[in-house]
Amino acid sequence: MGAGGFIGSHLVKRLKAEGYFVRGVDLKYPEYSPTHADEFIIGDLRDTKVCDLVIDPSFTEIYQLAADMGGAGYLFTGENDAHVMHNSAMINLNVADIATKKKTGRIFYSSSACMYPAYNQQDPDNPMCTEASAYPADPDSEYGWEKLFSERLYLSYFRNFGLQVRIARFHNVYGPEGAWQGGKEKAPAAICRKVAQAKNGGSIDIWGDGTQTRSFLYVDDCVEGVFRLMQSEHTGPFNIGSEEMVSINRFAEMIIGISGKQLSVNHIDGPIGVKGRNSDNTLVTAAIGWQPEITLYEGIKRTYEWIELQNRL
């Protein structure tokens, strides 16, 4: 579910490589390369009838990644709050209920680090995002509240009806074949695009003063984490993120360096989200032995090269 999206389409490739038969469902096909799924159903998972049609008890695993989703420019302006809450909650309400009634196999749910409390992410040098720090809840966006609600929804179905759910909290996933223009792109792709489009000797705009910190996870590492979690006996929620924290200024410098251009940075007003965020992988590494393998430099180099090519096409 969400097989036409960024992480979903990479996950489909991985599941095919593992030898699975894969049915993909989404509102749209993947944008940048043909799907690897054996079957691909275009459908709206907010619609109970569609969910009923696509959820098949003979399937051993369901991966639920469909969500109304975007970067800071989509999630943090407030303009899309009602849609984000309504659309994603409808999908999860349908999926949890129908998967339970049909007694399907295991189900994966993709939550987000956006559910962590804002009060623990004010200090850019010391954000706290351990799994246990989720409460008292105070996400900084409606997107984060919906994720927290849906985590609890799936866990309720687990406790009351035995739905075999696995939950990950993704931290800023990036890589080739993700949204890079149009308003739903996230910071890594947006900065790569700005650098790719800038003339040598020119400048790029960065939202905020650039001292805000984040960690970014390369999509292949994310897919590996999801796969291992699904094979494990652990329910979660677990962080699936990188612990390589970087300021946005340093990150922009890294991308400019990869481009080989001489560019300056203008800091402009824009939605920036929390001041600091970093994954804490202590729990997930102990449980399933997963940690990221691709460095930020290597991952963003691959991503920049892909976006630079898209920009030229």
Q: Please give the single-letter amino acid code of residue 56.
A: D
Q: Residue 111 to residues 56, 114, 223: CA-CA distances in angstroms? A: 23, 8, 14
Q: Which parts of 219-248 interact with ligand NAD (CB under 6 A)?
A: none
Residue closer to ligand NAD, measured from CB, 49 or 262: 49
For 211-245, give one letter per residue: b (16+ CB within 10 A) or e: ebbbbbbbbbbbbbbbbbbbebebebbbbbbbbbb
Residue closer to ligand NAD, measured from CB, 185 or 194: 185
Binding mask 72-111 for ligand NAD (x = CB under 6 A): ---------------x---x------------------x-
Q: How many residues bind ligand NAD (CB under 6 A)?
A: 25
The residues with which 247 forms a beta bridge, in sequence order, are 213
Output the smallest distance, CB 218 to ligand NAD, in A. Answer: 11
Place of tokens 């102990």: 286
Output the smallest distance, CB 222 to ligand NAD, in A. Answer: 8
Place of tokens 């590492």: 221
Residue closer to ligand NAD, measured from CB, 185 or 198: 185
Residue nearest to ligand NAD (CB): 5
Q: Is 115 in the site for ligand NAD (CB under 6 A)?
A: no
Q: Which parts of 16-75 interact with ligand NAD (CB under 6 A)?
A: 26-28, 44-46, 65-69
Residue closer to ligand NAD, measured from CB, 124 or 178: 178
Residue closer to ligand NAD, measured from CB, 114 or 163: 114
Output the smallest distance, CB 200 to ligand NAD, in A. Answer: 30
Contact stretch for ligand NAD (CB under 6 A) within 1-9, 97-105, 126-134, 279-287: 1-9
Known catalytic residues are 143
Residue closer to ligand NAD, measured from CB, 91 or 195: 91
Output the smallest distance, CB 98 to ligand NAD, in A. Answer: 13
Residue closer to ligand NAD, measured from CB, 91 or 246: 91
Contact 12, 36 (CB under 8 A): yes
Output the smallest distance, CB 106 to ligand NAD, in A. Answer: 17
Output the smallest distance, CB 184 to ligand NAD, in A. Answer: 6
Output the smallest distance, CB 202 to ligand NAD, in A. Answer: 28
Q: Which parts of 152-211 interact with ligand NAD (CB under 6 A)?
A: 170, 172-173, 186
Residue numbers at the binding site for ligand NAD (CB under 6 A): 2, 4-8, 26-28, 44-46, 65-69, 87, 91, 110, 112, 170, 172-173, 186
